[in-house]
Amino acid sequence: MTSLCEEYYQAFLAQGVLLGVSMSLIFCPPVAVVSRRMPHCRGLALGLTIGGSSIGGIIWPIMLEQLLNKRQLGFGWTMRIVAFTMVPLLAITCITVVDAPAPKASLSPLQAALDRNEKGAVSSNDEIQSQTKSSYSIIKNTTFMLLCGGLALGYFGLFTPLFFITDFGVQHGFSASTAFYLLSGLNGASFLGRVVPGFLADRYGHFNLCALATLAAGIVGFSWTAATSLPGLVVWSLAYGFSSGAIMSLQGACVGKIAHHRHQGLAVGCMMGSIAVTALVGPPISGQILAHAGYLALSMWTGATLVVGAAILTVARWRLNNGLTAVV
């Protein structure tokens, strides 16, 4: 549909509305299914699952740059080639996402309590209503609300470098082609950031690693404008890609830690809905900051949102267990 667009409203409906709805339907169910099926290695499993988008983040910019600028196929045929590539890949995804009852072992205390409440339930109308209410109890859970709030605040600035890193490189004298590949490098580091911290989080705690990754991304964000040379900007891109990638993979694991396995879909959907709002308005806000105050203010905005988000995530972690060395 996007390849046929000639007016702004057509592109808005196709690329904005239709693609946005379809992406939510593609992303949320696999995250919930993986979290349900693999509670023992949830961090690593979700890291590998979500890491696939980082592979796309490496390939698509290079592919688009080659098709648009080198082959000069035009926008329409470039979008059609993208679509022809995505259709078989998404078909495989739809076939392989199969839900199954989650194992009952190693439930968190909250999950175990909900499980005990639901065992031996009778099929009366009152009991059915009670179970329906319990499925929505996660929305009222203070720890879950803090988790969503911390992530949502961090997402105000999380995607800012992805939109502006190329222009930042061009302004510092790099060629457009060289600056363009900074984004692919950032996405490549993001893949490692989604897998490696996910593996470590299964041992050292999902909340622990998520809060640390958010704090690390904020610190790297504060140092953005200090990277003015090509080697420095490459290192900065890799560091930010790694730390920000960890946030994206561990957020689902944190939800799985506090939500009952029967309610993983609802919990993941609520979490994704909360961050979708700030991820939507964050880049336009960043653009206005850049236009009126420059890159230094933009880096301060990026770092501040992530550091404050990390503080809120730390409070959520503390509510689960206030032990300094606890695996949470």
Structural domain contains residue 316: yes
Range with the largest mean pLDDT of 176-180, 250-254, 322-326: 250-254
Number of residues that this document lists for the chain? 328
Tens digit of pLDDT for each residue in 248-302?
989 988 998 888 777 888 888 899 899 999 998 999 999 999 999 999 999 999 9
Run of H or E residues at 149: helix 142-158
Query: 195, 47 in Cβ contact below 8 A?
Result: yes
Instruction: For residue range 193-246, list pLDDT tens digits in order.
Output: 999 999 999 999 999 999 999 999 999 999 999 998 999 999 999 999 999 999
Q: Is residue 267 part of a domain?
A: yes
Residue 296 inside a domain? The answer is: yes
What CATH number corresponds to the domain at position 162?
Answer: 1.20.1250.20
Query: How many separate domains does the chain show?
Result: 1
* pTM: predicted TM-score of the whole model, two decimal places: 0.81
Q: What is the DSSP string of 106-139?
A: T--HHHHHHHHHHTT----HHHHHHHHHHHTHHH
Cα–Cα nearest to 252, from 98, 24, 36, 20? 36
Q: Is 210 in contact with 262 (CB distance < 8 Å)? A: no
| Structural domain of 186 | 7-97+140-320
Please indicate, yes or no, if residue 241 is contained in any of the structural domains: yes
Q: Is residue 171 part of a domain?
A: yes
Residue 209 lies in a domain: yes
Calpha distance 177→29 (Å, rounded): 37
Is position 121 within any domain? no
The pLDDT of 171-190, averaged and rounded, is 86
In a domain, 73, yes or no: yes
The residue ranking higher by pLDDT, 116 or 7, is: 7
> Which band of pLDDT confidence, cut at 50, 70 and 90, is reported for residue 121?
very low
